[in-house]
Structure 1
């Protein structure tokens, strides 16, 4: 691997120490600078022309990316990236469009100026709206990067009660951010929600609400022809078993959750009122066997 490939594997930036550890010599660094394939950002840091701008900013500020700005480096789900860069800086000096966070007592990213995942999540829980931090925590737990028990141990006392409440919303398993958000909205509406429920004849469904209503949370793959056909057959199987199905997409769950919950409540109310009536409520509609 040449020096440019090495830098690009680290988002276009690395410290002198890292470069030496990778086997590049002082002469190789000088030659690369002379040839223009990289430049020295400041003492001890080299960057390529196409280096990640957030990484460059963190190195320039002698800080670490954290909170939502660090999420992509751990493949954490996010709802909104925001316009401000979230940094933990030793100096704490004000910088334009930068939101400063506290110190990072936990181990950092192994080679990037990025806070460790524990500090990233703790900063996010104190900084972001509840649901935005929840999806980040859920993603980290789903990837087994850490546990809710570990995070809870870092938030003792009454003053952290609201933060610990976020951890109560984390699911043992969530395959997408839509699942944890939908579960939260349905649970807060007073509904009984089973996630990843096994339904006879149908298979595993995303949500089973009040033991009678299937809710599927559809991503981009559900728009593909084969998947659409499969979903229709699953809906048919659910109806044969007496279960109605509803489908929701990213925009419904993220941007219009109240409308989604209201629709679910309306379907449950109609079922309770007998509008999806079995034969005893509508005699004569089933031909005699």
Structure 2
């Protein structure tokens, strides 16, 4: 494979062993360096457009994990920015600009400096707050890439109690991280929650609480007017059928969950 194409497959930069797995030999690397491919460190090659963060990870021989690896696996994530989360054989080799995670169960990704999916999720469960680790795990479980049982079996002992506590809230089938979070907050408040319920002439709704309160969740920042009208008609039809409908947005679910739950409890309390 051509060196530039191999580097693109690796995200823009890679070490020699990863490139060798893609069929790149030493002679091709020498020619590529003469043609403009960068060599930031011994055995490290990069395109001029390679992200500086990727080069830093490779230079320090780290593996991305936890929230920093969510993008690689297309996981839902609330905290991809900030300090990078990495694995390194020696914690002392990781500077203050990164969060160190110890221990790997499985071999890492073959051509990119990323820990295996199971290790990424286990590190997240041990490191992140409930809502941040929960959405990462649930997205993998919903896709069928991971099971709760696999993770629970590898999180034994008292020190993993916090991580196991998150797993009890995982419930595959959510369409979005908003649905995962809202469903969890409502269940933690003692509310009966059904997800993805089908109503005639309405379609599938995100959440049905106590059998009569419809909650729809919208993560869009700039809503299309036709979609807004469609949503309003759906809400009207559900009301005609005897349901009550509430709608919440990203900022409500992620940043103001207490206010959202309080409103829902107030509405439910009237009929109860």
Please classify the TM superposition score into its range, dividing by the shorter chain length: over 0.9
Secondary structure of the structure 2 residue equivalent to 1:87:
strand
Aligned-residue CA RMSD in angstroms?
A: 1.8
Asked if 1:198 is matched to 2:206, the reply is no
CA distance in 2, matches of 1:199, 1:160: 41
Unmatched runs of 5 consecutive residues or more in structure 1: 273-289
Q: Give the CA deviation at 1:114.
A: 0.7
In the TM superposition, what is the alpha-carbon distance from 1:20 to its structure 2 partner?
3.3
CA offsets 1:34-77 (integer angstroms, 9 cap, x no match): 222x1223232211122123321221111211111111110111
Looking at structure 2, the residues matched to 269 and 105 of structure 1 have their Cα atoms a distance apart, in angstroms, of: 48
Residues 160-216 of structure 1, C-alpha deviations (whole Å, 9 max, x = no match): 232112111111211110011001110111111101112233221100001111000
Q: TM-score, normalised by structure 1?
A: 0.88
- My pick for the range that moved more, 169-178 or 19-28, is 19-28
CA distance in 1, matches of 2:266, 2:105: 49
Counterpart of 2:244 in structure 1 is 244
In structure 2, distance between residues paired with 1:84 and 1:26: 34
Distance 2:231 2:222 in 1: 8
Map of 1:72 onto structure 2: 71
In 1: Cα distance, 2:173 partner to 2:152 partner:
18
Q: Give the corresponding residue for 2:9.
A: 9
Residue matched to 1:24: 24
Structural mapping, 1:216-231, within 5 Å:
216-220=216-220, 223-231=223-231
Asked which structure has the greater CA Rg, the reply is 1
User: Paired residues, what number?
Assistant: 271
SS at match of 2:195: strand
Identify unmatched segments of 5+ residues in structure 2: none
CA contact under 8 A between 1:202 and 1:234: conserved in structure 2?
A: yes
| TM norm structure 2 | 0.93
Cross-structure match for 1:132: 132
